[in-house]
Chain A
């Protein structure tokens, strides 16, 4: 069996995505019982490389590997040889000496996962690379939607609102949401809307006039570090909040809000929404664990659904 990477959501077919979501669902009972661990990946080694800050993604990948009984090794840029100028290629070669089965990587540069994959026998899972992709976030978003809004997401209208330009989550989500039949509308100030994004088959809007059409409102974090840098993306955070921020007053009764975190209270999301459990934000974090268990599991055992095998041990 050749190694299987998960670098972009495009690496998955619709059947793969559905298999991953089904697999994640089957891990839920494991997470509810007293012994929250299965022996499936005993003896496997999973390395988590986080060259960029992360709370949710790195902690859930680490815990997911442990719940599957794999051995984990976590490396961060600070305190590693990366600070001494080691190249990604050399890091890959070094770590490969430990024969890892999977390397999970977050990296500030788009395409870094391909470089890593080319230099290791391990399967590479992208935990976010620059502005490119964040496929596991997309999968957990789909899982949260399916658990809360019903299994059939076909025809659901999703508005993705915020800093589309700098968002790898938006890129993965657009592809994944469309794959399962959803209609995607992007809303952002013109400065934060990538040029030519319409080619992905999405609707593009610059204000919230049509917000009432949305079933799901997916908010992206306004990356304050980019706004402060003196760049002319936004006049002020307050203006963003007034024009594009979402508060309860802007929502209809059936509309549900999602956010990949971390949230900026009072900027893209008002506190009344952030604290309302009717929304899916807390569930997204919960989903991260089950979905990442499913991804690690399928990366090693394969995506074959084996329905026809019927083999008896």
Chain B
């Protein structure tokens, strides 16, 4: 028996809507990169990697080609590495477990589509671009996200957006994917103290 959904959560995308959105993004990517053999999908750990794998599968099916794919972990490129003992430094968020970066193709000259679940401040994408460039010099880097929730702190914009969702900073977007959460859905979570 699944537990009843907490009152603080609102479903933004159901499993079916999520699947349709991902399909649409895949089609848009093919449309914008016609006939390109150099297309490569790179998912950002953790959930971006699962979404990236799904988009990659669709691209190969629809495009009739075997496109390159990979995953990127940005832990070593974050801009909030804790400053221990330093005066006036805000305690940083816990550092996530580092996952493997796996880019089994030549980055040089590739048309890379970065995939992430939620676009927020843009700092993750900044880190991902930095990481990518340590592996080579891509021809282009494009960005696909399932949800754009606004509040950008850097001049970064997505090329493919599943859903634009203006949010308050105290709200949180939780993207859940079957591969690691056992369910496909996007929910808006209001924080309790708000």
Contacts and interface: CB of A to CB of B under 8 A. Distances in A.
Contact of B93 (A23, A30, A306): A306
Contacts of A23: 98
Given A26-B73, A40-B77, A300-B84, A33 B134 contact: yes
Interface string B95-129: 11111111000000000000001101111100100
A101 B58 CA distance: 47
B84 A35 contact: no
A1 B91 contact: yes
B91 to A, nearest CB: 6
A121 interface: yes
A304 B134 contact: no
Interface of chain A: mostly helix, strand, loop or mixed: loop
Interface string A186-220: 00000000000000000000000000000000000
Contacts of B75: 26, 40
Interface string A286-313: 0000000000010011101111111111
Contacts of B84: 1-4, 101, 123, 300, 302
Contacts of B173: 312
A70 B81 CA distance: 13
A40 B76 contact: yes
Interface residues of B, number: 38
Contact of B82 (A29, A300, A309, A313): A300
A39 interface: yes
A37 interface: yes
Interface of chain B: mostly helix, strand, loop or mixed: loop
A123 B117 CA distance: 36
Contact of A304 (B81, B94, B127): B94
Nearest to B94: A306
A313 B93 CA distance: 10
Nearest to B89: A1
A313 B124 contact: yes
Interface of B: 73, 75-78, 80-82, 84-85, 91-102, 117-118, 120-124, 127, 130-131, 134-136, 172-174
15 contacts: A1-B85, A22-B97, A26-B75, A26-B100, A33-B135, A38-B131, A40-B77, A304-B94, A304-B95, A305-B94, A305-B97, A306-B95, A306-B96, A307-B97, A309-B94
